[in-house]
Amino acid sequence: MSLGEAALVEKSSEPSVLSVEQLNVYIKQLLEGQVGQVWVRGELSNFKAHTSGHFYFSLKDSKSQITAVMFRGHNARLKFKPTDGMEVIVRGRITVYEPRGNYQLMCEMMEPVGAGALQKAFEQLKMKLKAEGLFDAARKRPIPTFPRHIAIVTSPTGAAIRDIMNVLSRRAKSIQVTVVPTVVQGEAAAPQICEALAKAIKLRDVDAIIVGRGGGSIEDMWCFNDEKLARAIAASPIPIISAVGHEIDFTIADFVADLRAPTPSAAAELVAKSSTELATKVKASERMLYMSLEKRLKYLREKMTGLSKRLVDPQRRLQDLELRNDDLLTRLELAMDRLVATRRHKVELASQRLGTPQDVIDRRQKELEYLSARSEKALLFAIEKKKARMGRVMAMLDGLSPLKVVDRGYSIVTKNKQVIKSADQVKKGDLLDIRLAQGSLTAVVDSVKED
């Protein structure tokens, strides 16, 4: 008898009592046996990537939610990284975790809604590497204009290598080409492309590297969306051209590479300049250089002709200079003669006015006597003038002197050497000094009268 049958006995008999563990086991058997595998669509919530490698999350819609788990063996095959808020479709089966009595959805497969898993993984990796700056134009290096040695990382049997070699043999046969073989499709392709790229970088005197393959589906070209390959391309010290698929195909390698070619053939055309085109450009440059040189020579000839016409015979030029020198010398001599004559005449006139030396001395003596007499008179006059002015000032000062007032019958009364001008300055019993025109008195105040 099963646990269910033991629990559901006839009403007339007494029912069996189940333990919690037995009940959870019964529910587990019932759900797993009846529900089986299911497909569920919902929004990821509470997503957590455990250190064990398992994914724990919830699936929810507008009204309900269910816990879910995706073990490491299944989530390792995912091409994208699940995040909260992402709407997905999962395939799994219902299980019951007996110790807690919780039921959950054990997922075996997961696909994002709206976009395929590969496309979702592509967009996520693209945003991640772009945020790190691996797509910045500033870090990309220019492809050499005239490379002498290029390496090609691709399949040795694919159509891409044939197209590249055809273009190189037609446009630039002198370029050395080294093919580094690798697989370019399948799960093992990305690691092998990384190894082949490392070998190409180690080659001697390599100027540029072409990495690519022909067209195909997104699954076929998925190895060129590998993160490790993208970082290897970004870290390469040699400029890299990405040539993956057709013109409409884009991979992560295209964004990281120093130059993206729409096709493998275009990559060959970009890295190898056509010898015919170069020869044509060289001839055109040679023709322009020749014409420029001819024009320059013509200008110099015309300039030389004009200068030769203006050029004078050196001997004739010297003769002209000699004549000019003689003329200037004659004019200088005449000017000197005139200057000497003028100065001699002035000396004679001065001598006539001055007379003999004794006459000059006598005349100078008279001038000195005259000046001395004039100076003496002027000095006496100034002294008399000063004396008169001093007398006037002294008379004025004498008239203003208090002593003159006393001489006219007035007296000066002082108290403690202070002049008394008002009765308020004294009081009865004060001792006063009285100065008269002739002598002085000392008095004691007997009474004070105020006006």
pLDDT at residue 240, rounded to an integer: 92
For the record, the structure tokens of 324 come out as 């000019």
Tokens in use for 78?
């995912």
The residues of the chain scoring below 70 in pLDDT are 1-15, 32-33, 114-118, 274-276, 311-313, 352-357, 359-360, 399-409, 450-451
Sign of the alpha-carbon torsion through 208, 213, 215, 217: negative
CA–CA dist 41, 200 (Å, integer): 47
Q: What is the per-residue pLDDT for 117?
A: 63
- CA-to-CA distance for 221 and 249, rounded, in angstroms? 9
Distance CA 95, CA 27 (A): 10
* CA pair distance 420, 94, nearest whole angstrom: 136
Please give the Cα distance from 270 to 207 (Å, whole number).
13
Kindly report, residue by residue over 66-110, the tens digit of the pLDDT: 899 999 888 888 877 888 888 888 988 888 877 777 888 889 988
Q: What gap in Å lies between CA 226 and CA 232, rounded to an integer?
A: 10
Q: Evaluate whether 435 touches 411 at the Cβ level (below 8 Å).
A: yes
Cβ neighbour number for residue 275 with a 10 Å cutoff: 14
Contact by Cβ (8 Å): 269, 276: no
Query: How high is the pLDDT of residue 13?
Result: 55
pLDDT for res 9: 43
pTM: 0.45
